[in-house]
A and B are shown apart, each in its own frame.
Chain A
């Protein structure tokens, strides 16, 4: 009888413990260091290509590119300079690429699809080039397509910025949101 009295709370306690253990479980890492079961994909934008087409002839004249295949740090990026003729009108298309593992994919169409969250901004300095965005998300411009009009020859700089303006904050200006791209190209008007 005495033994039985002692054992019942013991069993009870043991059961309670098993239940609690079952409820909480033991969490664990299903990966081992160095094992290739990781998602290391950061969807980092690594390349911006500026496709410049002469509006009169419709021919592609140049595709200067900013390319940083290994992302921030590591090897420095390569930056082409943009060369256009004076007093000429160009149609420009921007192409954006992201590094997926060891190859890069074009994501321009994704940006277009999320056009209401994205805006490209162009700032020329040192030389006069008038840039007008020619596409739209339905309400505001996007900037993947634009028309550039040069005047006098000169040398300067063109900053192309891609703002990510998610959550209904896009208002047509470059102020709100986070910066996904901010690249300075040397700009020569010949």
Chain B
């Protein structure tokens, strides 16, 4: 057999569709559900279910329930037959354990009865989870990770100008939520509110937000929730595929280009690879009335992965690098309190210059590197052993306007983290499914330039066990974890280096469940605890935080922050016409760490600075999220997203500052008929309403909370048939009416308005390069 000239990589191509949609096969999934009669809606016992092309199958039992085990990822066809009913064949997509309800049409009475099906993957967690899939991500591509996550009800972002979005779940951010990049805890530098997650969102084909305490599975810090950044699995069938993603923005006059290429060889079954890269560039952005000077951005990211996977074992390697340079709004630079008073609350910022792509000072230079090895081995039908190890390196350099123009960062931090996890999983055994895991982590940090946090080394270890009882109508999950954390800091005192050590241990518990009232209505409940050791800045920061024009003093005697969190949600899933979720959450904190203003202000040679001390208090947060999607008449879709939150420091009955205001988002969409090669053209208008944050006293902040606002966004979208592929095009306008507003969660609201109208175009094009086999 010989290959053509283009053919070193060549291979028998099975068509892109298979490369595109099929992933590394995971087997051992369970398909289960109920069979009903479409007319009487009564349960149908003894219905025969057969998976086409296999010998797998089952009969429904007396209560209409069925269960088929040992299925692999992918789409399958299932034939369902019953005496007195017409045979039907349904298509089911298996990803994880899948619940699938079937309603059989009764042949005698209503030959044209509608077949109602319902399928949903097994829930990842019992807390409220929301997923942005490939389709939803293509609508926000080119934006930062924190910005993309704001699509989820209950998720906001703590913003620092137009480029830095720190994801916030139910008002909690930073050290109170966890970001899992490719299964690895992202270890960046969480001690500053102007530190966004150092992740290229283009690596992900799925973003999942777990909204609730998830400390048992993911360890310390997962108090408010977890963000899972999940890339697609490596391809499992031979071929070469890829995709190009483009995004262009009028505001900032820039955009993003991202592409990936992946493949597997016929001659080397089991081996697969992928390379991926992204470039992002933006110049100064603009508010409706003026330029937001020095808000440019330049980002260069890439990743590559390779894996070897067999029936019983698999190993893969992943490497990614994130490089970002971003400008900090020039008008936000302040030398002292007098400068701050001059800079804040102005109609027009102090510094407004013509548009430029140049990124001046102050600016941030950030590098994040992740290298990961992951392996799994099947110990039998039931048990699988998984292990991973990762190294992360994070560099943060902050260049400030200095007295002397030295080309050296005023502040530089380097954090290196090694982490590993060993996981023993068992598939369903007598309705039980679970995992036992051991996780460990070693971290070091060094700084150069101005002191804000000291050098440190940290060690952590955790042991956990989670079991889930899976019944047809209900599932119950319980878990237990024990963590130990050790921290050693190195302080440069006048007499030399002084070290101090601290250790914390804490158990975490979780208990949750879900009940399926019928094919559509589900109720979830979860109670979980989570904790975190105080962060190094909360313990040891001492001195002037220039960005905040405040002196922040840590307290080395702080205790661990502990929380117990309750989540209850009601979900309606099913028809295209209607789906929705209403969830309530309540969290109680023991030792919530916060910054308390203290008097007198600290006198320095730059004048007096307001002074804050890290303190602990008991706190309570409650809220609700609502998301609805309704198609009242065909082609018209109405979507609602709403969230409300109340947060209180219960030790002194004051409000917790920096919490998101109530918000409501309405989207009205219309889908046109297919038009030639253009499929599903659609038009939608979104009205985002954010109330003024009234639950904060004016003296808790430099400026009173800004007023509420209404913002209109609109979008057109279409899928265009281009060759064998579908090109997805989104064109939209963010802030259509060029509304002037300031958001309470934007730290730069003191200095300038939010960006104005932004015309955006986003194109996604999956492609493949056919390589033909030459006949000998």
Determine how close the nearest CB of chain A comes to the CB of B774; give it in whole angstroms: 15
Chain B residue contacts of A157, Cβ below 8 A: none
A178 touches B414 (CB 8 A): no
A178 touches B371 (CB 8 A): no
Q: A71-B543, A178-B333 are in contact. Are A32 and B444 (CB under 8 A)?
A: yes
Q: Does A24 sit within 8 A of B, measured CB to CB?
A: yes
Chain B residue contacts of A17, Cβ below 8 A: 304, 306, 317
B604 touches A72 (CB 8 A): yes
Q: A12-B8, A42-B450, A179-B336 are in contact. Are A73 and B414 (CB under 8 A)?
A: no
A29 touches B404 (CB 8 A): no
Determine how close the nearest CB of chain A comes to the CB of B516; give it in whole angstroms: 46
Q: Mask for B598-637, Cβ within 8 A of A = 1, else 0?
A: 0000111111010000000000000000000000000000
Q: Does A58 sit within 8 A of B, measured CB to CB?
A: no
Q: Does A180 sit within 8 A of B, measured CB to CB?
A: yes
Q: Does B265 sit within 8 A of A, measured CB to CB?
A: yes
Determine how close the nearest CB of chain A comes to the CB of B449; give it in whole angstroms: 7
Bound form: Cα–Cα A27–B403 in Å? 31
A77 touches B604 (CB 8 A): yes
Q: Which of A9, A16, A29, A183 is in CB contact (< 8 Å) with B268?
A: A9
B499 touches A34 (CB 8 A): yes
Interface residues of B in 400-458 (CB under 8 A from A): 401-406, 408, 410, 414, 416, 444-451, 455-457
Q: Which of A40, A45, A161, A175 is in CB contact (< 8 Å) with B492?
A: A40
Q: Does B399 sit within 8 A of A, measured CB to CB?
A: no
Bound form: Cα–Cα A48–B306 in Å? 61
A179 touches B339 (CB 8 A): yes
A39 touches B448 (CB 8 A): yes
Q: A27-B369, A77-B604 are in contact. Are A38 and B393 (CB under 8 A)?
A: no
Bound form: Cα–Cα A177–B343 in Å? 11
Bound form: Cα–Cα A24–B416 in Å? 17
Closest to B409 in A: A39
Bound form: Cα–Cα A150–B265 in Å? 90
Closest to A10 in B: B268
Q: A12-B8, A29-B444, A180-B403 are in contact. Are A77 and B605 (CB under 8 A)?
A: yes
A33 touches B456 (CB 8 A): yes
B403 touches A38 (CB 8 A): no
B604 touches A71 (CB 8 A): yes
Q: A24-B319, A33-B455, A72-B602 are in contact. Are A43 and B446 (CB under 8 A)?
A: no
Q: A20-B304, A45-B605, A179-B336 are in contact. Are A13 and B273 (CB under 8 A)?
A: yes
Q: Does A89 sit within 8 A of B, measured CB to CB?
A: no
Q: A33-B457, A180-B606 are in contact. Are A38 and B338 (CB under 8 A)?
A: no
Q: Which of B367, B405, B488, B542 is in CB contact (< 8 Å) with A74?
A: B542
User: Which residues from chain B sit less than 8 Å from chain A, CB to CB?
Assistant: 8, 265, 267-268, 271, 273, 275, 302, 304, 306, 317, 319, 321, 333-336, 338-339, 342, 350, 367, 369, 371, 391, 393, 395, 401-406, 408, 410, 414, 416, 444-451, 455-457, 488, 490, 492, 494, 497, 499, 542-544, 551, 553, 602-607, 609
CB pairs A–B below 8 angstroms (12 shown): A10-B271, A16-B273, A29-B416, A29-B444, A31-B448, A33-B457, A33-B490, A36-B497, A38-B446, A45-B605, A175-B342, A179-B335
Known pairs A42-B450, A179-B607 / 8 extra A-B pairs, C-beta < 8 Å = A29-B393, A41-B449, A47-B605, A73-B602, A76-B603, A114-B404, A179-B335, A180-B606
